[in-house]
Amino acid sequence: MAGWFPTSVQPLVSALLAIACIMPLFGLCFALTTIVERKVLGRMQNRFGPNRVGPYGLLQPLADGVKMLTKEDIVPFSADKTLHFLAPLVLTVPVWLAFAVLPIGRNMSAIQLDAGILFFFAVGSASELAVFMAGWSSQNKYSLVGAMRAIAQMISYEVPLVLSVVPVLMLAGSLELNDIVAAQGTYTIGGLACWNVFTPWGFAGLMLFLIAATAESNRSPFDLPEGESEIIAGFLTEYSGFKYALFFLGEYLGLFAVTGLAVTLFLGGWHAPFQWLEWVPSWLWFAGKFGALIFLFIWVRATLPRLRLDQLLNYAWRFLVPLCLINLLVAAVWYWSGTWKSPVAVPVRWLVCAALIALPYHGLARILRGALPPPRKYSYAE
């Protein structure tokens, strides 16, 4: 392959090849997720979900796409036309960039950046700007309220999202995602993989990361920015047709990106759970873990009701951020106790680390419950 092109154009060709793989792959994944999400949500709510278009409703994404693209593109009269046009693009383009550093299989990351995870969070943060652009330029009070909520939420949850990742970086000693995957590539004597999730700090970290990721991608129960029962559709209110579809695409791709990162950081990336399963293609393992996490997100969406804004922010600042900091401490203890190898010391190490995260969890939850205002009395409703 390398011999087919002159050396000067090889970087360009390799970049184009990576783009040609990533874009259709995750685009198809988007289409598949929309139908799977609707079917699973339906089943969890005792109904069928879409089952009319094609066999088992599988062509539904196609019908949705045609519907979206043929809709009229309405721009409000008093909207800021330029910003209104740019917002969906500003949301979607950086999200695609985030996939560049994700290793979706053995030797399968588009670029190997030494500060890959930094790059990931840097481009991921651009979505906040896009959301506020959309809300501000629409000249609509619901859009603006939605955008303000989105900013409050995304900035609050950016902190625990990044903090929950730090223990992984500490123990792997690298910001490069391929190195982090390689650090989880060893197996214990029993043949079980040494993934980060199988440690106390790793499990706590994954939970914290998933909660923060749900909020970052504006998904239920943290879907306040588009709370349709309160503010129509939040910052999406004035968008229609293709722009709306782009926003939708951007949100789902953002979800895929953080899910891929969760797989990479905590679930051993593309490694098999047992050594004797390493012959299965690495990208299949990645896809399996990825799919399981996406299912978990759908499952949570079907279960939990939406939070109130004060609950949301209290939860981030009074619960998640302190727990993330404590998790750093736990990771440090785990690191320094790495030399305890005797049969007595290993369970002690586990117990100490588990208690160090479980007790603050319990205490913080009690404090959080005490900090909330007392239940409202509806004097007129009785």
What is the binding site for another protein (CB under 8 A)? 40, 43-48, 299-300, 302-304, 361-362, 365-366, 369
Owner of token pair 């953002």? 254
Classify each residue of 315-328 as buried b or exposed e, where b means 16 or more C-beta atoms within 10 Å of its C-beta.
Answer: bbebbbbbbbebbb
d(C-alpha 210, C-alpha 134), whole Å: 26
- Per DSSP, the residues of 221-270 read TS-GGG-HHHHTTGGGTT--HHHHHHHHHHHHHHHHHHHHHHHHHHS-TT
| Least distance (Å) between residue 304 CB and another protein | 7
Number of other CB atoms surrounding residue 338 within 10 Å? 10
- Nearest alpha carbon to residue 221 among 265, 157, 162: 157
Task: Give the Cα-Cα-Cα angle 300, 303, 305 (nearest 5 degrees).
Answer: 105
The nearer residue to another protein, 118 or 302, going by C-beta atoms, is: 302
| Least distance (Å) between residue 220 CB and another protein | 12
d(C-alpha 269, C-alpha 261), whole Å: 8
CA 375 to chain centre: 32
| Least distance (Å) between residue 97 CB and another protein | 34
| Least distance (Å) between residue 333 CB and another protein | 23
- Per DSSP, the residues of 70-97 read HS-----TTS-HHHHHHHHHHHHHHHHH
The nearer residue to another protein, 45 or 188, going by C-beta atoms, is: 45
The nearer residue to another protein, 129 or 300, going by C-beta atoms, is: 300
Number of other CB atoms surrounding residue 143 within 10 Å? 27
Q: Dihedral angle at the C-alpha atoms of 305, 311, 314, 315, nearest 10 degrees? A: -10
Name residue 101's beta-bridge partners.
Answer: none
| Least distance (Å) between residue 266 CB and another protein | 19
The nearer residue to another protein, 46 or 78, going by C-beta atoms, is: 46
d(C-alpha 265, C-alpha 276), whole Å: 22
* Polymer length of the chain: 382
| Least distance (Å) between residue 207 CB and another protein | 9
The nearer residue to another protein, 182 or 300, going by C-beta atoms, is: 300
The nearer residue to another protein, 362 or 376, going by C-beta atoms, is: 362
| Least distance (Å) between residue 365 CB and another protein | 4
The nearer residue to another protein, 302 or 352, going by C-beta atoms, is: 302
The nearer residue to another protein, 205 or 269, going by C-beta atoms, is: 205
Contact 300, 221 (CB under 8 A): yes
| Least distance (Å) between residue 36 CB and another protein | 12
